[in-house]
Amino acid sequence: METTAELEKLAFEFFKVFARAEYSLKASGFNCGDGNAKADWSTFSKQVENLIQTPNNQELQEAIDFVMSQPPKKQIIVNGKIEWSDCTPSDSVMAENLLVYIRRVRNNLFHGGKFNGHWFEPERSEKLISKSLIILKACINHNEDTKKAYES
């Protein structure tokens, strides 16, 4: 199990990579058009579907398998109380569902679902964050335009 300091360092790395990835999507044309600058993850998922269906290395395959088999839960409110839901996306594009899970990892971290003074399920959190990093980096590097924007 990661120590608290190691897990916090991993979470910080995830935030940095996620922010740069989201910027690279917007800057390389995977955006929702004029107006608010919003990344178009759905269109991007179609560009990386082949990579997700046929990963180019074992590390990526294992990361995909883990996240798809043990996906992050979604915070919901039931009768005024925060609960966790197994809310499963139902898109026919596997990469779309996987990228929904990656964004959910980000949301759970950012909005306090996994850390509120102490880490909830630290071993599971470490695995979800580290596997999500592998997937996110592979997807960004798979497309030349997003890779270039990410590196600039």
* Sequential DSSP letters for 58-100: HHHHHHHHHHHHSPPPEEEEETTEEEEE------S-HHHHHHH
pLDDT at 125 over 70: yes
Q: Which residues contact 139 (CB under 8 A, 6 or more apart)?
A: 21, 44, 48, 51, 52, 95, 99, 146
Label residue 57 by pLDDT band (50, 70, 90): very high
Contact between 143 and 41 under an 8 Å Cβ cutoff? The reply is no
- Between these two residues, 55 and 89, which has the higher pLDDT value? 55
pTM over the 0.85 mark = yes
- How many CA atoms, within 13 angstroms, populate the side-chain half-sphere of residue 35? 5
Q: Does 81 or 29 have the greater pLDDT score?
A: 29
43 near 32, Cβ under 8 Å?
A: no
- Whether 10 has a pLDDT exceeding 70, the answer reads yes
141, burial (CB in 10 Å: exposed 0-12, middle 13-18, buried 19+) = middle
Q: Residue 62's pLDDT band (boundaries 50, 70, 90)?
A: very high
Pairs from 80-85 (Cβ < 8 Å, separation ≥ 24):
82/113, 84/113
What count of other Cβ atoms lies within 10 Å of the Cβ of residue 82?
10
Higher pLDDT, 86 or 26: 26
How confident is residue 72, by pLDDT bands cut at 50, 70 and 90? very high
Whether the CB-CB separation of 139 and 99 falls below 8 Å is answered with yes
Q: What is the mean pLDDT of residues 122-130?
A: 91
Mean pLDDT for the chain overall: 90
User: In this predicted model, what pLDDT tens digit does every residue of 25-47 receive, in sequence order?
Assistant: 999 999 999 999 999 999 999 99
